[in-house]
Amino acid sequence: MNKPKYYITTAIPYASRKPHIGNTYDIILADCYKRYKQLCGYDAYLSTGTDEHGQKIEEYAAENNMSPKEYADMVSGQVRQIWDDVGAQYDVFIKTTDKHHEKAAANLFDKFLKQGDIYKSEYEGWYCVPDETFLTDTQVVDGKCPECGRPVIRAKEEAYYFRMSKYADALLRYYEENPDFIIPESRKKEMINNFIKPGLQDLCVTRSSFKWGIPVKNDPKHVLYVWMDALINYITALGYDPENEKQPEAFTKYWPADVHFIGKDILRFHSIYWPIFLMAAGLPLPKKIFAHPWLLSGVDKMSKSRGNVIYADDLIKIFGRDGCRYYSLAEMPFSSDGTITYENVISRYNSDLANILGNLVKRTESMTVKYFDGVIPAPGEETELDRDLKETVTGAVVKYKDLMEKFMISDALDAVFTALRRANKYIDETTPWILAKTDEGKIRLATVMYNLLETIRVCAVLLKPAIPDAAEKILSALNEKGDDITRVETFGGLVPGGRVTEGEALFSRVDEAKVMEQVNAGKEEEKKPEKPEGEPEIEFDSFVKVEMRTAEILECEPVPKSKKLLKLKLDLGYEQRQVLSGIAQYYTPADLIGKKVIVVANLKPRMMMGYESKGMVLASSGEGDTVRVVFLSPDTPNGQRIS
């Protein structure tokens, strides 16, 4: 009998930096859900990958003396390694630099252009380079991007636009006809009230200010903008190409997607732009989009510049793969942000995995070996305690399935641990070590041990999607497969007479003091910068040849057609001069006018973007957004020599 299909996708992370645990949550969640649907008898198919084009990758590649493709391949390799480390069983890993994806994306753009959905115009406005997002005047906050907080730049360039408004009514109808299309419900209201009802603006779908992207067929100076390129990975991963008269078997079998797992910050692109692209392409829309919350570092968004980033591979070194997966899934609420700190991971790992689950399994296996020579005993007459345990376990199964279908993963796991807590209490209530002392007690003990073994079997099956390694060990010790959820819907599926193998402890408690010492030592090591390669040593006489003087910035304005340069008018006291500085991504003119700076005053003049620059403003530079101009006290006289 053919299994029903279930197609799951993750958002594809941008191949600019190694993903932290907040980014990695996407694949852990999607993999957990795939395994759950497989337990339920589905042919579940999981697609993931990396987004590899764009200005940011072009710039990072240049900084690292690599080609954009080499840089993207390097980061994509890191992403794939982390996905493998967390045990993700994905079926396809697509890279937007894959030839079949690039071809399909160019063909789809061409299709939209020919049918009048795309037109050429000119863009002028604010642009956030790190997020690759265009912003309106009202969206920009104090000259910075509202999402990432970094400075935005003024951009003006020729671009192609997609007519979003043409499909707005059809999109609203789809929302109405499919009320669970976007979950949680609050996110759907956000999209309708903030973006659709005020009137959809046409979407810029190409860029012409950089080259690293998929070129437009008949206008190659334009490359596809990130969302026109990246969003279609969900269909190109299945082999889709609009030029094909007949689509591949994978596409006809699995599309439309049953659920897109994405972070809440990219919901607008997935719930508005993506469905409209599909409508224009004449393709079915995805059935559901789950815009999950963020996993915060303490109370803040993770950021390398804040020094609060936690990586999955570092968690795995301390807590193992299952420890990393379990915390991520158990700690993330359905609709509000979760939080992660090493202290919290240690606490939950010790309480849930080591104490509640690990301790129960170890005690139950040991007692079965000790009292029944490892043979699963047949249960006898029931007591009220037995019935209460069984009701708790069967109730947990019902609750678990209901919550999983609603994508409330942390609540579903909590239902399982409620049953495990009840089982630990059941041991204390029935006192197997006392029952084992008499023949009459041993008859009762058989029922107690059977109930405990059956409880851990049921819970292991339910936990298999979240902590597959530990669940497999538990089921293996019971000689059970645990690959069918219907076998845990009724208490009593464990067959008496089978053998139980006593295994090692599943989870050993970790020492918080030792772990935090290790973590903090690692942080100190990270803070300590490596000694830069630097320049060869010079004689003092050579140094004094560099004439550095104090100056005041009188005027400042962007250099036309340049995203990096600002044109400064400096007052050195004895003269005024013009200097061009590549700091436009880090400072606005308002940040600089009136400030006192240090300028290299005897640098040979040179032409930059058609303007003469006579000098260089001193600034420190580092990774990412760490460029900082060296400012002086406001009362520093102009023209003083720095030595």
* pLDDT tens-place string over residues 562-580: 778 899 999 998 999 999 9
Q: Is the pLDDT of residue 631 over 80?
A: yes
21-39 and 68-85 helices, crossing angle to 10°:
50
Per-residue pLDDT, averaged over 130-139, amounts to 73
Q: Is the pLDDT of residue 399 over 60?
A: yes
Q: Is the pLDDT of residue 609 over 50?
A: yes
Which two three-digit tokens encode residue 2?
């053919």
Task: Say how many CA atoms lie within 13 Å of 244 toward its Cβ.
Answer: 15
Burial category of 122 from C-beta neighbours within 10 Å (exposed 0-12, middle 13-18, buried 19 and up): exposed
How far is Cα 57 from Cα 186, in angstroms, rounded to an integer? 34
At 407, the amino acid letter reads F
How far is Cα 243 from Cα 108, in angstroms, rounded to an integer? 8
Residues of the chain with CATH 2.40.50.140: 540-642
Contact call for residues 482 and 464 (beta carbons, < 8 A): yes
At 592, the amino acid letter reads L
Report which of 130, 126, 106, 128 is spatially closest to residue 57, judged by C-alpha positions.
130
Of 248-262, 338-352, 504-518, 528-542, which gets the smallest average pLDDT? 528-542
Residue 155 confidence class, pLDDT cut points 50, 70, 90: confident
Percentage with pLDDT > 70 across the chain? 95
Burial category of 528 from C-beta neighbours within 10 Å (exposed 0-12, middle 13-18, buried 19 and up): exposed
Residue 50 confidence class, pLDDT cut points 50, 70, 90: very high
User: Exposure pattern of 268-305 as b/e (b: 16+ CB <10 Å)?
Assistant: bbbbbbbbbbbbbbebebbebbbbbbbbbbeeebbeee
DSSP secondary structure, 501-560, as one string: -----SS----HHHHHHHHHHHHHHHHSPPPP-------HHHHTTS-EEEEEEEEEEEPT
Q: Which residue has the tokens 């809440």?
A: 264
Of 181-190, 191-200, 531-540, which gets the smallest average pLDDT? 531-540
pLDDT at 624: 46
Computed over every residue of the chain, the mean pLDDT equals 91
Reported as a single tens digit per residue, the pLDDT across 215-255 is 999 999 999 998 899 999 999 999 999 999 999 999 999 99
Which two three-digit tokens encode residue 203?
């979407």
Q: Is the pLDDT of residue 8 over 90?
A: yes
Backbone angles phi, psi at 616, to 5 degrees: -145, 130
Residue 308 confidence class, pLDDT cut points 50, 70, 90: confident
What fold does the segment set 540-642 form as a domain? OB fold (Dihydrolipoamide Acetyltransferase, E2P) (2.40.50)
Residues of the chain with CATH 1.10.730.10: 341-528
How far is Cα 91 from Cα 89, in angstroms, rounded to an integer? 7
Reported as a single tens digit per residue, the pLDDT across 314-344 is 999 999 999 999 999 999 999 889 999 999 9
Report which of 205, 188, 256 is spatially closest to residue 8, judged by C-alpha positions.
256
Per-residue pLDDT, averaged over 109-137, amounts to 85
439-463 and 359-372 helices, crossing angle to 10°:
140
pLDDT at 140: 82
Which two three-digit tokens encode residue 289?
């989009």
User: Exposure pattern of 483-508 as b/e (b: 16+ CB <10 Å)?
Assistant: eebebbeebebbeeeeebeeeeebbe
The contacts of residue 553 (CB under 8 Å, 6+ apart) are 568, 569, 570, 592, 593, 594, 595, 596, 597
Helix (H, G, I), strand (E, B) or coil at 206: strand
How far is Cα 466 from Cα 219, in angstroms, rounded to an integer? 48
Q: Residue 298: left if φ>0, alpha if ψ -120 to 50, beta else—which one?
A: left
Contact call for residues 598 and 605 (beta carbons, < 8 A): no
Q: Is the pLDDT of residue 139 over 80?
A: no
- CATH assignment, 341-528: 1.10.730.10
pLDDT at 298: 76
What are residue 629's DSSP bridge partners? 619
Percentage with pLDDT > 90 across the chain? 72
Per-residue pLDDT, averaged over 442-461, amounts to 98
325-329 contacts: CB < 8 A, separation 24 or more?
Answer: 325/28, 325/32, 325/86, 325/87, 325/466, 325/467, 326/352, 326/353, 326/413, 326/466, 326/467, 328/21, 328/24, 328/25, 328/28, 328/29, 328/295, 329/28, 329/29, 329/32, 329/409, 329/410, 329/413, 329/466
Which two three-digit tokens encode residue 220?
């190659």
Kind of pairing between the strands at 295-297 and 338-340: parallel
Instruction: Give the N- to C-terminal CA distance of the chain in Å, as an integer.
Output: 84
What are residue 339's DSSP bridge partners? 296
